[in-house]
Structure 1
Amino acid sequence: MVAIAKQTDKILIVGAGCFGLSTAYHLLQRGFLDVTIIDRSPSLPAPDAASTDLNKIVRTSYNDSFYTKLAHEAIQAWKDTDTWGDTYHESGVLVIGASTNPSEAGAAAYANDVAIGARLTRLTDAQAIHSMFPTGVSLGPFTGIQGYLNQDGGWAFAAQGVAKLLERVKALGATVVSGKAATELVRREERAIGVRCADGEIFGADLIVLASGSWTACSFPELDLGLRCLATGQGLVTIQLTSEEAERYRDVPVVLDWSSGFYAFPPNHENVIKIAVHSTGYSRYVSGPSNPVSTPQTVTSHGQDGLRIPQEVAKFLREQLRNVYPGLATKPFAMTRICWYTDSPDGDWAIGPHPDVPNVLLATAGSGHAFKFLPNIGNLVADRIEGKMDPVLMEKFAVDREFKKVDMSRRGEVLKDLGSVPLCTPEDLLP
């Protein structure tokens, strides 16, 4: 295998989120000498980036054993408090609506967790599920539901994790420039020699790493990434608890319902509970030079309107919350937000050179499950840059790969246009 870049090359990373910062960290650790990160946001971590969130699930429960093993490795790194402080919280992850019977469909995640020696408790009925929660927590009936608790997982305070890695990358010598929205590649024949920003400034480079998340396709429409890096919006809400309520729910596990996509976190340090859904989500197409491109609508671009979620999502989350924590379903939603992800059709990431521009490497398409790998996802990217990636993984993450499967959790339904559905009003936040 041939390296894409050498340690003395000038590396430009577009995007200071999960992929971008982790890549910079691992390149610097390997001895790369000239690493620059630019980001569209005037302040970092970017307030509207998917990686800048209250919390993200950290789990090893995957149908694909590659991600199970990589997540297990990430969790060991998260436990390094010298690096991450209290970013990681090992609350356990309660997976419901998932079979643990090897003869049934959907049991691969459980089998993969068993294979890595995770601390698992099979839950075969409602009584067993109820026993996983502290006394005094108001719980739904869970009638006819099975699942399991994985104690080797929990959640990460996402924004804090990004902030800590940002500071670490700076300390290692990276140049980080905020407020630089990339608009196009500057090319010389078949190679890119830099990136032009909205203000006209050009950042030159030998290798350009596009780690700009859900802004990748719309920032570089000339690459025609289309459905390979599709920006999709996912709705989330928060619930403000009193200090007494928070103490009652403090030790609950993360709840992940695979049958509906609903998930809920324990309260954070501000006594806030976040609930959300892992689903097909919503697009927002904006005209581009050739084809319309799905483009995020956030608080940065659209003010408070960028925080409003579809009414149907608010209703769904209220109904699902009632099934899990009926005592909380009577409380108003404190805040809503659309979190924008970058989806690939098969749910695998895009880590590799663009087929038409060999010195432009994509590191994106997190497909809603990348953040937990913040400590080690950049190691994969660095392997690809240095020509050390396993050929099997090169094919798995190739930008121009043939999609042999469909991620039904993200592409299983019709993708709705955000502009075609009514968005929630203050009244929709009330119980």
Structure 2
Amino acid sequence: MAQEHRKTLIVGSGCFGLSTAFHLLKRGWTDVTVIDRAATLPALDGASNDFNRIVRTSYTDYFYAKLAHDAIESWRDRDEWNDAYHESGVFVLGSPDAVVDYAHKSYLNDLKMGLRVVSFHNQTALREVFPPGAQVGSFADRTGHLNRDGGWANAGQGVSILITKVKELGGKIISGKNVIELTKLGRKTTGVRCSDGTTFNASLVVLATGSWTGSAFPDLQMENIFRATGQCVAMVKLTPEEGDIYRNSPVVLDFSSGFYVFPPNEDNLVKMAVHAAGYTHSVGAKKISTPRTVTSDPETGLQIPRANVKELRDWLRMVYPALAEKPFVATRLCWYNDSVDGDWVIGYHPESEDSLMFATGGSGNSIRHHNLFVSDYGSLGHAYKFLPVIGRLVADAIEGKLSADLTAKFAVTRIPDKPDQSRRGQITQELDLSQLCIAQDLQ
């Protein structure tokens, strides 16, 4: 049977899943179905549904930097992506003169690609990155660079656009299907069984289940290559007048602290987070880290540890001192599927006879919903910015066309030999539910 006629089932309608379906269908695949546990799509607590996500080329690995630039070229096409992408620029704090600095290495890659980057070496120049009237910190003893070829995307909008594209190409998307088991014949995966008793048969199953992969499929024993981690996020609400003052600010990304903050969106919400090792939430006898969201825990699923509330406010004060005096209107634990080395996991399970493919390890996917109080958010990400192009890599892996070096880079069976250098700290903490913030902590 020709590859393009394989009955293909993709589990998960986030960045990896939808982009894979899109690229397979564009290549002429004729039987592609995407299923998702969520009752409505984009998923309320899904990993690629957010009101803003950073779109950056700031990577020390030139492969990711170049692929991000390719994605940005696609994002700019308004006929394809409407106004989902906003080229505000990304202001990277660091030390362009420090050879060992992550920001510096990213800066060199941006220069190598010929991007519109400007470096700054004094406080006066740094403050001029921001619009007139915006109250900004002193940036004492800091340097940085502004990359004008970057910004942020409305992630929920991008996902919705891609759902439409997949359907227009003949793909099927079915919500409300919570997969609880892979069905097999010998070593070969033959489909899935869902909690409502329905089954889906396929000759190829693609697991694009993000941070739920480990807990949903514990028998696959993938914890040595990736695991779910929660990252702390908070938001402040500006007045319309304040929103107009700060609107044209760039995304600010400080690799030394892990802190990043967006300009206000159309609802005058300013979102911030810290890109760190994060929290695990170990569940069950196997102690597999499992996302804890507003869907699984409606009462407390949005709360972050109170210590992180203070940390976020302190870092916000370093960038926007006046905004740091405002109450936080919402907090989130954003759940990532972190790979140990920061590389994606794209490849066939070694014992599946090419019937089970992984497409995950986004190390930072996130979500959105119209009501900001019933959702989870994240932003720095290592997958969403690639939404227009990441499925191309998965499709290549499925068809056996991925280059040997990328096959090894993304292999399910690889032995990670380096930690993810973009994060502050490398040791996760177990989430202590007794230390979650309460309303008073947000004032």
User: TM-score, normalized by length of structure 2?
Assistant: 0.93
Matches within 5 A, 1:3-402: 6-97=3-94, 99-101=95-97, 103-106=99-102, 107-288=104-285, 291-357=286-352, 358-368=354-364, 369-402=382-415
Identity of aligned residues (%): 53
Task: Give distance in 2, aligned partners of 1:203 and 1:303.
Answer: 30
Whether contact under 8 Å (1:49, 1:340) holds in the other structure is: no
Whether contact under 8 Å (2:275, 2:424) holds in the other structure is: no
Give the letter for the 2:355 counterpart: N
Whether contact under 8 Å (2:259, 2:272) holds in the other structure is: yes
SS in 1 for 2:183: strand
Task: Give distance in 1, aligned partners of 2:423 and 2:201.
Answer: 36
Deviation at 1:103, TM superposition (A): 3.9
Give the letter for the 2:228 counterpart: A
Give the letter for the 1:380 counterpart: L
Deviations 1:25-66 (A, max 9, x none): 000000000000110111100011221112110001100000
Whether contact under 8 Å (1:266, 1:273) holds in the other structure is: yes
Deviation at 1:101, TM superposition (A): 2.5
Task: Give distance in 2, aligned partners of 1:323 and 1:269.
Answer: 24
Match of 1:419 in 2: 432
Task: Give distance in 2, aligned partners of 1:359 and 1:287.
Answer: 28
Aligned with residue 403 of structure 1, among 416, 420, 433: 416
User: TM-score, normalized by length of structure 1?
Assistant: 0.96
Gap runs ≥5 in structure 2: 365-381
Deviation at 1:217, TM superposition (A): 0.9
Gap runs ≥5 in structure 1: none
Give the letter for the 2:404 counterpart: P
Task: Give distance in 2, aligned partners of 1:157 and 1:425.
Answer: 29
SS in 2 for 1:341: strand
Whether contact under 8 Å (1:281, 1:410) holds in the other structure is: no
Deviation at 1:421, TM superposition (A): 5.5
Task: Give distance in 2, aligned partners of 1:411 and 1:353.
Answer: 31
Task: Give distance in 2, aligned partners of 1:171 and 1:347.
Answer: 33
Task: Give distance in 2, aligned partners of 1:23 and 1:396.
Answer: 18
Give the letter for the 1:100 counterpart: P
Deviation at 1:102, TM superposition (A): 6.7
SS in 2 for 1:301: coil
Whether contact under 8 Å (1:216, 1:229) holds in the other structure is: no
Whether contact under 8 Å (1:102, 1:111) holds in the other structure is: no
Deviation at 1:127, TM superposition (A): 1.0
Match of 2:371 in 1: none
Whether contact under 8 Å (2:337, 2:363) holds in the other structure is: yes
Seen in structure 2, the aligned counterparts of structure 1 residues 216 and 151 have a Cα distance that, compared at 3 Å, is: same
Deviations 1:1-22 (A, max 9, x none): xx9x700000000000000000
Whether contact under 8 Å (2:419, 2:426) holds in the other structure is: no
Give the letter for the 1:128 counterpart: A
Give the letter for the 1:213 counterpart: G
Tell me the C-alpha RMSD between the 2 structures: 1.4
